[in-house]
């Protein structure tokens, strides 16, 4: 990108290291203008689980920043936001012991169930840790690794989350933040510290874990600029998980609107002053990156699953058709909300006159329905019930996704003009270090949440009832699949 005519303030870099690619933005801290951007892919291995080589994340980070061009050299600070929950195991030299287990790897479902029982059940976990640890949580992945690959576990000298790993490559220090730490299962929301009893249950030494940096603290400075076009010594922020970064990028505050994020996974979240503790496990009681809380529900199957169904049908992803009574539960990778880690996709109600476009629309409906059923649990009622939903993520730009959310929620939907909100949230965190401001206030000053407001559509109660009925009747089927 060409340089603007003189940035008004210092430049900062925000990074989004997601499941399949890394994006970097160079942002004017005064105005929020994105003056340069870069992107680079990395890969996920398939098979029985979902894994990635952390070294690829580093190489993608370096490539994405270099692709930003010469303006990156002027950056005063950088912050890394990354996919949550991933288990990164490092040896004594700081090298990965094995590929990282990603958030959507559900092989640790049996370990998750045993951990829940051993601490006293879901209610005990929710009250103490803030979340009931499903297979996505890092603690379950570590127990799986210790049981299935004991040599790798014994070789592990440090455990990091994806954003921790990249931040440590920048600074040389093992740090994390409360937002991402709250998705591990071994950081307790009740005490805001690592929980020694949970660590003992997992057979994990606290010496393997990073220091939790407090909000608005500096994680360190850049130790080595040889792989990156930065000046040595620029400030490195604590970073955070991708959802907490998106909340920062929107400038969310308690009592504000809830957010639906449509990406590879789907999430619904809001910022709250109250520490969440949902014993059903539907809502994860995450911390945010500022000092408040981020109750959040996540589905494993969102845009990627619907795109896969469109491909199977041989249709463009927007080629949906109304009508029909078909129901699709697009649980292609198992599911987290509802809790069905062993589930597979389900097609119900197919008839001779069912069209491919109706099947595709039903896949959209199934993905959105899973998020909307969690909305009331996530939102603590601090805002008006009829307030618009903020719709973000790659799916927010698609007409079929937008119309499906409006039709099934019966709410108005606002789509922010700003894109790459995770990277923007990281940039706001970096800017806060430079300007000594609250990063959410920085994002509000940048106007990141501004965008068109789409009026609500009449709520499609018939579709909601069909999906609810099919989902309830599918519980027995999902339990059977567990035993295969």
How many CA atoms does the CB half-sphere of 71 hold within 13 Å?
Answer: 26
Give the Cα separation of 113 and 266 in Å (integer). Answer: 23
d(CA 443, CA 428): 6
As a residue count, the chain comes to 484
Q: How far apart are CA 98 and CA 96, in angstroms?
A: 5
Question: Active site residue: 16, 28, 180, 242, which one?
Answer: 242
Rg (alpha carbons) of the chain, rounded to whole number: 22
Distance between CA 253 and CA 449 in Å, rounded?
12
Query: Long-range contacts for 456-461 (Cβ within 8 Å, ≥24 apart)?
Result: 456/406, 456/409, 456/410, 456/411, 456/412, 456/413, 457/403, 457/406, 457/407, 457/410, 458/407, 458/410, 459/407, 459/408, 459/409, 459/410, 460/407, 460/408
Structure tokens at 166: 């990249």
Q: How far apart are CA 221 and CA 482, in angstroms?
A: 47
Output DSSP code: residue 321.
Answer: -
8 A C-beta contact, residue 216 and residue 156: no
Residue 292 falls in the annotated catalytic set: no
Cα–Cα distance between 53 and 63 in angstroms, integer? 16
Beta strand ranges found along 242-283 (DSSP E)? 259-262, 266-269
Q: How far apart are CA 478 and CA 471, in angstroms?
A: 10
Facing residues of 347 across strands?
Answer: 328
Q: Please tell me the distance from the alpha carbon of residue 236 to that of residue 421, in angstroms, as a whole number.
A: 19
CA distance linking residue 104 with residue 219, whole number of Å:
28
Handedness of CA 55, 247, 264, 348 (dihedral sign): positive
Active site residues: 242
């Amino acid at each position: 990108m060409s340089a603007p005519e003189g940035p008004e303030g210092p430049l900062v870099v925000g990074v989004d290291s997601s499941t399949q690619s890394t994006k970097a933005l160079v942002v004017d801290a005064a105005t929020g203008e994105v003056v340069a951007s870069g992107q680079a892919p990395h890969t996920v291995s398939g098979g029985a689980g979902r894994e990635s080589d952390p070294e690829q994340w580093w190489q993608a980070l370096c490539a994405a920043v270099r692709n930003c061009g010469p303006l990156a050299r002027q950056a005063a600070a950088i912050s890394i936001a990354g996919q949550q929950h991933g288990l990164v195991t490092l040896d004594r030299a700081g090298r990965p012991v094995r590929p990282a287990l990603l958030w959507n790897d559900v092989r640790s479902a049996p370990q998750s169930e045993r951990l829940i029982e051993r601490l006293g059940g879901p209610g005990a976990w929710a009250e103490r840790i803030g979340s009931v640890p499903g297979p996505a949580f890092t603690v379950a992945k570590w127990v799986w690794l210790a049981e299935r690959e004991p040599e790798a576990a014994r070789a592990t000298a440090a455990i990091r989350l994806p954003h921790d790993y990249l931040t440590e490559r920048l600074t040389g220090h093992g740090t994390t933040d409360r937002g991402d730490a709250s998705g591990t299962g071994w950081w307790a929301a009740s005490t805001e510290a690592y929980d020694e009893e949970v660590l003992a249950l997992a057979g994990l030494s606290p010496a393997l874990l990073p220091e939790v940096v407090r909000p608005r603290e500096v994680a360190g400075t850049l130790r080595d600029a040889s792989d990156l076009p930065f000046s040595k010594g620029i400030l490195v922020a604590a970073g955070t998980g991708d959802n907490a970064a998106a909340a920062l990028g929107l400038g969310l505050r308690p009592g504000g609107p809830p957010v639906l994020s449509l990406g590879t996974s789907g999430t619904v979240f809001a910022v709250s002053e109250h520490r969440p503790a949902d014993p059903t496990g539907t809502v994860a009681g995450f911390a945010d990156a500022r000092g408040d809380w981020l109750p959040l529900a996540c589905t494993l199957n969102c845009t990627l699953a619907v795109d896969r169904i469109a491909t199977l049908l041989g249709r463009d992803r927007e080629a949906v058709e109304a009508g029909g009574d078909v129901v699709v539960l697009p649980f292609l990778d198992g599911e987290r909300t509802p809790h069905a880690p062993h589930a597979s996709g389900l097609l119900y109600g197919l008839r001779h006159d069912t069209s491919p476009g109706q099947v595709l629309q039903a896949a959209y409906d199934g993905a959105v329905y899973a998020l909307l059923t969690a909305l009331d649990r996530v939102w603590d009622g601090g805002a008006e019930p009829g307030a618009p939903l903020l719709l973000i993520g790659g799916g927010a730009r698609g007409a079929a996704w937008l119309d499906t959310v409006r039709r099934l929620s019966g709410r108005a939907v606002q789509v922010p003009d700003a894109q790459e909100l995770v990277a923007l949230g990281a940039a706001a965190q970096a800017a806060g270090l430079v300007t000594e401001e609250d990063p959410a206030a920085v994002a509000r000053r940048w106007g990141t949440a501004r965008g068109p407001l789409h009026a609500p559509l009449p709520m499609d109660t018939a579709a909601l009832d069909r999906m609810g009925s099919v989902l309830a009747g599918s519980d027995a089927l999902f339990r059977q699949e567990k035993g295969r």
